[in-house]
Structure 1
């Protein structure tokens, strides 16, 4: 109001010059009288949270950006019952739920939607493939769009809103099984424009044409115009991009960087002016720019630039824009550089002709490099004093990394591959009952998990057994390794395995890493470790530097066959299932959306997970009188680590052994002992014998250690 009054009064008194002076004075009065409250611009945290509250602003989306949206309509949950059984079998009723709802996405028209996330996981992939059953319709926000048919059917044709000018999505009967029977928190990759947009174009659209795009910098991959006022949206964007407003008739023109200029010496300046340098502590020590990074599925990221020297103030900018890490880093560096350069101000005295130079215009000073921006203007006694700030260079792409990121996978699941087996217990403790390990994966990288069922009666009945663990690295043996000793590193043999898909990888390990348990795998029935894994292409790998027969599985060395199983033993990728003592055949079934009928495996339990390993170093010591001493060394299922100066723990209630002597002719003899040796007379072994030594455990006998003693006449004793 003061601008209008003083402009009119000045024009009546002083003509055009008086009108210009009156207008400038009126603008200053207006700014003081009608000073707005502190602006509230968009916050990144608000844009990623789905809401359903009345009065929640709906953003205007530009470019491509991930938006949570607001639920604007929903039905009650719909219950679905499924009865199974009957005809002699128990009848079970299972329940599932679905819901239909609409989500507002943008307060301006869009051209499409890409990926959709539900609770952070992909509900729709980049190829528009759905990961859960649902109906879906997208309304692009045109001014001529009609009501959605589902909403019209539920609310009535005369009461159903069309939401013209607002883009929204409608889900019909979304299966809520994977989301805890509730509507999940959704976010959408909204595509509002076919390409990048500039800051000037965004400001022009938000201001409804009252701002001329000018030469404001860009491009920006995506932006969400979200805030309590137009100024709250425009001002942080303009400042971050290094632009400033310039009066252009009844509109504002955005200027940025260098451009057409005026020499202050053309309007009466006689020198470079008075120089003022602000204290360095007025410049932030660092500038931090928060933004959305398209390379991180539009997750919020922060890039920071800092300067050397005193100070600890950090200026934080929340920019609801999609920028890559380098562009955001460049903005932070440019803002910091601009603040440093604008410490220097020039006060230049000119004559009345400088009244035509408005704040925001570019000028040059003779003998000084670069251009300057008019930041203040004063008139006294027909002399104009200009306050100038140096114009900083435009932002440039900087070297930056977005950091570590684990995206939600967008891959097909493929078929389930299931392996179940019993091996010696892999932990340091002891088991009280046999335990089966289950490893599962898929033929494609998108496979995640499957539900497990177990049958102890050959498939007559099945009991739920939880779910599989994380996808295991799994495959088949193409070329098995040969026979080798378990006591030495096997540098002669090698194995070739083929993994299920290209997303599975193997890695090398040094001796120290292998000593800590790295690269442990089940190849057939043998546990081994490998130090070198060489990729051969087509998901095939050559394994070298083998440590054979780990955890007491040396009896399986050399028995693997082509086409046999290969499973990496890794923490978090195996599911264990305890079975009753004495169980024999156990059937395991895995069921997933890609295998609705299930994949089965049968495990024949031998108790190896809860019995001691076989004794080692079994040897026969011949005495002069023809007798022989059999000695051996026990092992423990609870002490696999080598400890200098200490024996391995017993791990059982008592130390006992069973020695079975099988003569070349005659009846086998079983001897029980509590020490790791027995003595045999010449009569007991003279015709030659086979000896099997087993250690007794709390839950059964160990596998045997075997030695053959030839007939007495062949020994030379």
Structure 2
């Protein structure tokens, strides 16, 4: 407005000169008050910004790129509580939180979503597995996509849009424990197209009216922009490959400025001298102007580095530069370090080339002489590109610039060291649950249940543990943690032998759950201290030598058998029975004894489990079961009576101390002596001493029966011991 007013005033006062001065002053005033038009086109941005505000632009992505998104829908945090403890343990209530939300990622259809980072940590891996609990659904943004079922359920079918032509993802019940119980800031690897994308595809998507068929030669791994027009995108892409424009058949055509094309360049006719009114090329019809060589300037390219998980990278051009600022080129492009360094070098070369312009007048109009065409002239060697033309009274004036020779660049660059998030695929859980004998510490009346949980790879993140009752009800009893125990299965059935002596001959072959799980050797002294204890089937063994055969296969030898009162299982082995190393990697369920009493099966559920992993509790009741007595004998008395004798053992007392009797380990000493078949004994006695005297007549009559055996059991507070068999022989 000030430009118009002051121009009119200046013309009235000072004529044309006054009008020009008034217009100049008014223009400066308008610029100061109103400001100039400012449009920001495609540019590189940091990855950590996730928005949820109205009016935020949703970008267009091409190829494969990493980008943040905009939260377009979310629920309140959902709270879950889990109680554990009781029966001698403190009651603990654990709270966890989940959230469901949707994130818009692109304003054009995409192929899919690759990896996802939450607060910089990997949330979804290459295999499509989430590293925390939850469900992910991807909507690719096509025009016929339907609404998400969760959004329909939450908002109602009539109130929920399908977000057609917008690609978005929906997280359902995403576990938030690793993110401070809040929505994390997400960045996603958006796979917008299969493979690389050309400049023609990018510009055509931005403006369908453009003719970009001449830009198919240059391809990019990924590109993104979220604001500005086509005119703002072209200069950005022009830093990668210079682009010219032309209008043909009322359509804007774009092409590569340095490309000669497939046809031979057109040769211009001789120049035509101009008339007296011509200001340029008056006499000869052409004029050439060379500017002074500009000062060298170093170029720096910022880009998304593929080798560094699309984090912003920076590459500089080679060579020295004059003092001053470097030219910063921000490219929202996914490329490797060598490609970025090549772009920087080419940009630096273009900035240090002298400006060479040829003004050339012709009188013949030809389709080959349109702007952007590559031509040759009879007055100057080389190939020239028509930059612009001007219709004049005495001809058509062409402005020509030389087509630079494309010299091959041999550039190598290093993206720098990256510390990418470890992408380990979640794998199924393997568990072995068993009960250990009482070790003499703590409360011996509480079952000592241990769980050996493991998996095939280190990508296993642990599992939630439950006790399964007979009706299928699951009662939570804690979790395993991420530390893997050494578990496996037997490839051979070990033969039975005496548990009283060292067994140097027996061998057992195992297959462990993973290649990186190992076993070690132990000396005799270490064995006596409890080293290398393991559960094999129902028997607890110790091994002195472990040898890897191949891969996961191991062979154990140098065995001590029937440890911890499991001598009755020495001869009960099969191929495929479970193996678990007893060490500090075992976990104990956190539930109360009442919880553990609801069932005899432990269930583990982890992220990689399509079905729950389960294990029946092996040796259930072993902790509270009295040990079987030993050294049974029959002493015949002079009067014909028989005295049955045995030596008791005690739970938790595994050392035989000279001169001391082992503690009882039970509220009272009580024994059951049964005669006859184990399933249906004919006579049963109870005694409070470690002996039983049979009268002469009874002893003689029983000894005459076939299979005259006595089964001696100690009666404990909660169960009976395994039997000691004593044969009654005359």
Query: Do the aligned partners of 1:346 and 1:388 also contact (CA within 8 Å) in 2?
Result: yes
How far residue 291 of structure 1 moved from its aligned partner, in angstroms, is 1.5
User: Quick one: structure 1 residues 223 and 48, their matched pair in 2 at CA, closer, same or farther if it must change by over 3 Å?
Assistant: farther
- Normalising to structure 2: TM-score of the pair? 0.52
Query: Do the aligned partners of 2:67 and 2:190 also contact (CA within 8 Å) in 1?
Result: yes
| Deviation digits for residues 44-85 of structure 1 (CA, Å, limit 9, x no counterpart) | 225552211111111111112122111110000000010112
Query: Do the aligned partners of 2:46 and 2:312 also contact (CA within 8 Å) in 1?
Result: no
User: Quick one: structure 1 residues 237 and 47, their matched pair in 2 at CA, closer, same or farther if it must change by over 3 Å?
Assistant: farther
CA–CA distance in structure 2, aligned partners of residues 170 and 381 of structure 1:
66
3-state DSSP of counterpart to 1:138: strand
Tell me which of 373, 388, 392 is aligned to 1:361: 373
- 1:399 counterpart residue number: 412
CA–CA distance in structure 2, aligned partners of residues 229 and 144 of structure 1:
27
How far residue 323 of structure 1 moved from its aligned partner, in angstroms, is 1.3
CA–CA distance in structure 2, aligned partners of residues 72 and 445 of structure 1:
36
3-state DSSP of counterpart to 2:90: strand
How far residue 154 of structure 1 moved from its aligned partner, in angstroms, is 1.2
- 1:339 counterpart residue number: 351
- 2:294 counterpart residue number: 280
Tell me which of 326, 337, 359 is aligned to 1:314: 326
- 2:113 counterpart residue number: 113
Tell me which of 400, 411, 419 is aligned to 2:424: 411
3-state DSSP of counterpart to 1:64: strand
| Deviation digits for residues 443-478 of structure 1 (CA, Å, limit 9, x no counterpart) | 735368999xxxxxxxxxxxx9x9999x9xxxxxxx
CA–CA distance in structure 2, aligned partners of residues 309 and 111 of structure 1:
43
- 1:87 counterpart residue number: 87
Query: Do the aligned partners of 2:129 and 2:425 also contact (CA within 8 Å) in 1?
Result: no
CA–CA distance in structure 2, aligned partners of residues 36 and 360 of structure 1:
30
- 1:689 counterpart residue number: none
CA–CA distance in structure 2, aligned partners of residues 338 and 502 of structure 1:
56
Between stretches 303-312 and 91-100, larger displacement belongs to 303-312
Query: Do the aligned partners of 1:39 and 1:231 also contact (CA within 8 Å) in 2?
Result: no
Query: Do the aligned partners of 1:330 and 1:395 also contact (CA within 8 Å) in 2?
Result: no
Aligned length: 444
CA–CA distance in structure 2, aligned partners of residues 390 and 207 of structure 1:
27
Q: How does 1:309-708 map to 2 (within 5 A)?
A: 310-341=322-353, 343-353=354-364, 357-366=369-378, 370-383=382-395, 384-393=397-406, 398-412=411-425, 444-446=457-459
3-state DSSP of counterpart to 1:45: coil
Tell me which of 267, 273, 276 is aligned to 1:263: 267
User: Quick one: structure 1 residues 588 and 167, their matched pair in 2 at CA, closer, same or farther if it must change by over 3 Å?
Assistant: closer
Query: Do the aligned partners of 1:204 and 1:213 also contact (CA within 8 Å) in 2?
Result: no
How far residue 276 of structure 1 moved from its aligned partner, in angstroms, is 0.7
| Deviation digits for residues 405-430 of structure 1 (CA, Å, limit 9, x no counterpart) | 1221112467899xxxxxxxxxxxxx
How far residue 182 of structure 1 moved from its aligned partner, in angstroms, is 1.0
How far residue 332 of structure 1 moved from its aligned partner, in angstroms, is 1.7
Relative contact order (alpha carbons < 8 A, sep ≥ 6): 1 or 2 greater?
2
- 1:231 counterpart residue number: 231
Q: Highest CA radius of gyration, 1 or 2?
A: 2
| Deviation digits for residues 538-568 of structure 1 (CA, Å, limit 9, x no counterpart) | xxxxxxxxxxxxxxxxxxxxxx97679xxxx
3-state DSSP of counterpart to 1:302: strand
- Normalising to structure 1: TM-score of the pair? 0.53
CA–CA distance in structure 1, aligned partners of residues 233 and 47 of structure 2:
13
How far residue 142 of structure 1 moved from its aligned partner, in angstroms, is 1.3
How far residue 524 of structure 1 moved from its aligned partner, in angstroms, is 7.9
- 1:163 counterpart residue number: 163
| Deviation digits for residues 6-25 of structure 1 (CA, Å, limit 9, x no counterpart) | xxxxxxxxxxxxxxxxxxxx
CA–CA distance in structure 2, aligned partners of residues 184 and 377 of structure 1:
56
- 1:289 counterpart residue number: 301
How far residue 172 of structure 1 moved from its aligned partner, in angstroms, is 0.7
Query: Do the aligned partners of 1:291 and 1:301 also contact (CA within 8 Å) in 2?
Result: yes
- 1:605 counterpart residue number: none
Between stretches 123-132 and 163-172, larger displacement belongs to 123-132
- 1:610 counterpart residue number: none
- 1:149 counterpart residue number: 149
